[in-house]
Each structure stands twice: as C-alpha cells, then as structure tokens.
Amino acid sequence: MANQSIEIISKVLEQSAKLVEEQVDAHLSKLNELDEDDLERLKERRLEALKKAQKQKQEWLSKGHGEYREIPSEKDFFSEVKDSKNVVCHFYRNSTFRCKILDKHLAILAKKHVETKFIKLNAEKAPFLSERLRIKVIPTLALLIDGKTKDYVVGFTDLGNTDEFSTEMLEWRLGCADVINYSGNLMEPPTVTQRSGTKFTKVEKKTIRGRGYDSDSDSGDD
C-alpha cells in the first residue's frame, strides 16, 4: 500500500515537472520569435510604465505621503483626507503607552507604503471628530478610502492581543482593509505561531460604518 502511494506521488510530481517544463519552453519559444521591433516596443512600454509610476510617487510625496505626520487639529483632518485616496489616521493620547508602540510601526509603514497617507491626531484635541467617528478606545486607527471610513483597528485585538506584535502583523491588518497595497497572503497573518497567552482574532474583509466601541483594557492609561 505504501509503495503504491509513493508510486502515485512520484507520477504526479513527474507530470507536474513536465507541465512546468513545457510552459517554460513555450515562453522561451515566444521570446525567440520576437523581432527587433517587438523588443523595442516592449522596452518602450516598460519605460513608459516606469515613468508613470515615478510621476505617481512624486504626486503622493507632494501630498505628504511617505512620512508619518501629526496634524494639529480636526479641521486639518478633512483637508488631509480629501487630498488622498488612502489614509490611515491614528487617534492617540499622550498618556497612553500603547499609542507610542503604534507610532513606531506606523513610521516604518509610512515609508514603505507611499501610496497611503499616514497621519496621527490627538483625540483630546478632536472632540467633534472623535464623536462623529465614535472613537471610544485609544489607540484607534481609522482607515479611510476615498474620504470614507472603511474600517477601524481598535486597540491591539486584531494584532494578536499583545504589545509585542510585529510591523508585518499591522501591515497585514491594513492590507485586509485594502488601505495599502499588500503583496502578501491576506488569508493568514504573517506570524503563524503566537506566544502563549496571546489570542489572534481573524479579520474578515468587510465595510464597517458608524460602529461604536466599548472601552476595554486598551482604553486605559498605561
């Protein structure tokens, strides 16, 4: 029985290898058929795409992307959000230690994901906005797309319920909300093994609007 299973697996692997080899040969054959004009057109298209990407990056940088910034008031929030398609806004409080943990990770991600604007706002200086967005737990990240709040990251629940979550874990969570261009696997978080005593809450991609939050351990001053 075991020998039969091994033989079946070997045949499957052999067939898979043959299929890959045929696909590679077909691709190489197409490349060999290209004349100089075809290659020149491919080169021009590639160059045009690079120029377009560079222009887009410069536009983002001119709007304050590429760095993690604090905005002075809730009045500035509306102009910042209106100016960019993707925005991550950290509602923080100086006395809350966990906000400083988020600051560290957000500063890294702001440089990596230039397509998204990363800002922070002192919740105590933004009573109207905090009420409107129902910010009840500090820290809270409001994730906005096209000027509308699509999702929230409230406390550290979605990040493994630990202060020691990785930047990659936060990056994955933002990717689940489509607020950044995430190239990894959205079906599973980047850290497969969690420390003992921590619990991971799986996040489904969905729209959350006007959601209220009860205070938990994340809302107290650390």
Identify the sign of the CA torsion 139, 110, 163, 151: positive
What pLDDT is stored for residue 127 in this prediction? Answer: 95
What pLDDT is stored for residue 66 in this prediction? Answer: 95
Structural domains of the chain sorted by starting position, each given as residue range(s) with its CATH number in brackets:
7-58 (no CATH), 66-177 (3.40.30.10)
Q: What 3-state class would DSSP assign to 137?
A: coil
Peptide bond into 139 cis (omega under 30): yes
Spatial separation of the C-alpha atoms in residues 104 and 101, rounded to whole Å: 6
Reported pTM: 0.69
What pLDDT is stored for residue 7 in this prediction? Answer: 65
What pLDDT is stored for residue 9 in this prediction? Answer: 67
Helix (H) or strand (E) holding 153: strand 148-154
What pLDDT is stored for residue 209 in this prediction? Answer: 39
What pLDDT is stored for residue 141 in this prediction? Answer: 98
> Average pLDDT of each block of 10 consecutive residues along the chain (222 residues)?
62 69 69 70 81 86 94 94 96 96 98 97 95 95 96 96 96 97 92 48 44 37 40
Spatial separation of the C-alpha atoms in residues 201 and 220, rounded to whole Å: 21
What pLDDT is stored for residue 112 in this prediction? Answer: 97
What pLDDT is stored for residue 45 in this prediction? Answer: 84
Q: Are strands 140-145 and 86-92 parallel, antiparallel or unpaired?
A: antiparallel
What pLDDT is stored for residue 54 in this prediction? Answer: 87
Angle at 58 between CA 173 and CA 167, to 5 degrees: 20
145 Cβ partners below 8 Å, 6+ apart?
Answer: 85, 86, 87, 178, 179
